[in-house]
Amino acid sequence: MRVAIVDDHVLLREGLARLLAEAGMQVVASEGDIDGFLGAVGASRPDVAIIDIRLPPTYTDEGLRAADLVRERHPGTAVLVLSQYLDAGYAFRLLQSFPSGVGYLLKDRVSQVAVLVDAVQRIVAGECVVDPSIVSRLVNRTGLTEPLSALTPREREVLELMAGGRTNTAIGEQLFLSERTVEGNVRRIFDKLGLADTPQDNRRVLAVLAFLRA
């Protein structure tokens, strides 16, 4: 697995590179600014680009725009955006442009090698990944609106994993359920929330996120 990194903090770049090496991945580019990074990605065509959302010059959402550029120019390169913000809005924006092969994770989420490897493998496989903290905050908000409170605890668990980008198979594995049971849960969730079911499509992450944020 070939990886390119962009982060303006050299400490984090190095730390992340070492984690990736530990996970058996090959860091082909490690840059501190967008221009150098885009050039390196164009030259080395990595499997994954890991982008810090807050980059110079304005330190606002340059990372998101760099992610869009990479997905647009190099469809073969998956993008993982790392952020300090528990912000569903950013995740939503990222998925809205390219609903597959992208991920939005909290920066320190990937300090566990297993999590890092899992996320990278999933987005390279064309899935999308949304940080569980963000999804959990959305789903477990106090004073939930009508349709959400009608979900059973099990359905809520399934919804949370679905919003995090998991496939039915992955959800089944995680919750020790058969894929058929998961499908049934998903169908009931969509019915209760009044959403059009688009199973096995990454667009359903977007639909669920949009519903949760409304």
Partner 1 sequence: MTRLLPWAAVAAVLAGVTVSVLRLRGEVSLAGPSVAAQVLDVAAGAALILAGAAAGRSKWLLPLAGAAWLAAEWANPAGPGAVLFTVGLVAFLAPLPLVLASRWRQPLPDDSPAGPARRWQRPFPDGAPGVLLAAAVLLGAVAAVLTGPLVAAAVSPRDVGCTDCPHDLIAVAHDAALGTGLARLGGLIAIGAALAAATWLAVTLARVRTQPRRWLTSPEGMAGIAATAFAVAIAAGLGVSLPGGPASLPAPGWHAVAGVMLLALAAAVTVPALRAAHARRVVARVAVAIADDPRHSAADALAAALGGMTVSVAYPAPDGTWRDRHGQAVALAGRDVTLVTDSGEQVAALIHDGPARIDPAAITEAAAAARLLLDTERLEAGTLARVNDLGTARRLAVEAAYAARAGLERDLHDGAQQRLVALRYALGLASAHADRLPERGHAARLAEADRAAELALASLRDLAHGIGSATLATEGLAGAVRTMVENSPTAVTIVDLPAEQLPEQVERAVYRFIADFLAAAGPLPAPGASIAVRRSGQDVVVEIEYGRAGMTGDPGSAHLADRLAAAGGQVRRAGLGDRPRLIARLPCG
Of residues 47 and 62, the one with the C-beta less far from partner 1: 62
Strands (E), the chain: 2-6, 26-31, 48-52, 78-83, 102-106, 129-130
Q: Count interface residues toward partner 1 (CB under 8 A).
A: 34
Tell me the per-residue interface mask from 59 to 78 with partner 1, x by CB under 8 A, - otherwise.
xxx-----------------
Of 129, 138, 159, 170, the one binding partner 1 (CB under 8 A) is 138
Cβ pair 204, 198 in contact under 8 A: yes
User: Which residues, 6 or more positions from 147, have their beta carbon under 8 angstroms from its beta carbon?
Assistant: 192, 193, 194
Q: What is the largest CA-CA distance in the chain?
A: 51
Residue written as token pair 């688009």: 198
Of 35, 72, 76, 108, the one binding partner 1 (CB under 8 A) is 108
Q: Is 1 in the site for partner 1 (CB under 8 A)?
A: no
CA-CA distance, 164 to 155, in Å (whole number)? Answer: 14
The region of 30-38, 133-141, 180-188, 190-198 touching partner 1 under the rule CB under 8 A is 133-141
Q: Is 210 in the site for partner 1 (CB under 8 A)?
A: no
Chain contacts with partner 1 (rule: CB under 8 A): 9, 11-12, 15-16, 18-19, 22-23, 54, 59-61, 84-90, 107-108, 110-113, 137-138, 141-145, 213
